[in-house]
Amino acid sequence: MSYIYKGVTSFLGKLKGTPSEEFNVLILGLNNAGKSTLAARLSLETGDALKRISPTVDLTERHLKFKRIKVCLRDLSGQWRMRQSWHTFYQEANILIFVVDSTDASRLSEARCELCDVLLDERMAQVPLLLLANKQDAVGALPSSMISELLGLNRLEGRVWEIHGCSSLAGDGIESTIGWIYGKLKKLRTPSRFSKLLTPSFLFGPTCSLDFRRREMNIS
């Protein structure tokens, strides 16, 4: 009995399959915003390693899994020179995380300009945005509601977006960030082989009644 059960579950498991596709999460923001600290946190790194992160020179990629979904975190340098080449990563982006240093009010307009440029690129038109108001643990951090207003996010139209306050260093808000990313990627995932088996074309064949009649009548 248990053999039959194991056989059936393994068969169903194979039908469902582990999705081989990997999704790209693009992490952008000005230099010093905390992108690399966030990427390390999302990879479940903890402790002193987080404090030893130095400015990113070019980009850092991390390959990980959120539950069964494969994710490539692309953490790009926020230095001005590197921002000119951010666009080369737009085509492959599935999710955009834009990180802002909530303690640095003097650079919010610069962040707003950069974000605007990213969102105006047509390759990013359908990409969901998570704005992270980082460094909420630090003294003088602006609340996420104020950051949202100063960045003009409420004027965004036709885009899936959210803003979360977080502290990548302390780990606050990381779980909800992972939850948000996972929720969005789950919707992007192509149907499993198992669900394909349940489509009408698989069950009843690719022919509609008209094709069937054509074949009967030998019409090409």
Residues that bind Mg ion (CB under 5 A): 35-36, 56
Among 37, 94, 148, 177, binds ligand GTP (CB under 6 A): 37
- Which of the listed partners (Mg ion, ligand GTP, none) does 134 bind, with a CB threshold of 5 to 8 Å by partner kind? ligand GTP
Among 28, 71, 73, 77, binds ligand GTP (CB under 6 A): 77
Q: For ligand GTP, which is the closer residue by CB, 7 or 55?
A: 55
- Site map (CB under 6 A) of ligand GTP, residues 129-168, x = contact: -----xx-xx----------------------------xx
Separation CA 188–CA 186 (nearest Å): 5
Contact 174, 41 (CB under 8 A): yes
Separation CA 200–CA 16 (nearest Å): 18
H/E element, 182: helix 174-188
Q: How far is the CB of 149 from ligand GTP (least distance, A)?
A: 21
Among 22, 32, 72, 119, binds ligand GTP (CB under 6 A): 32
Separation CA 44–CA 40 (nearest Å): 6
Separation CA 117–CA 162 (nearest Å): 18
Binding footprint of ligand GTP, residue count (CB under 6 A): 22
- Cα dihedral 186→30→113→137 (10° resolution): 80
Among 78, 133, 174, 177, binds ligand GTP (CB under 6 A): 78
Separation CA 72–CA 151 (nearest Å): 27
- Which of the listed partners (Mg ion, ligand GTP, none) does 37 bind, with a CB threshold of 5 to 8 Å by partner kind? ligand GTP
- Determine if residue 13 is labeled as part of a ligand binding site: no
> Catalytic: 79?
yes
DSSP string, 203-216: HH-S--HHHHHHHH
> Which residues belong to the annotated binding site for Mg(2+)?
36, 56
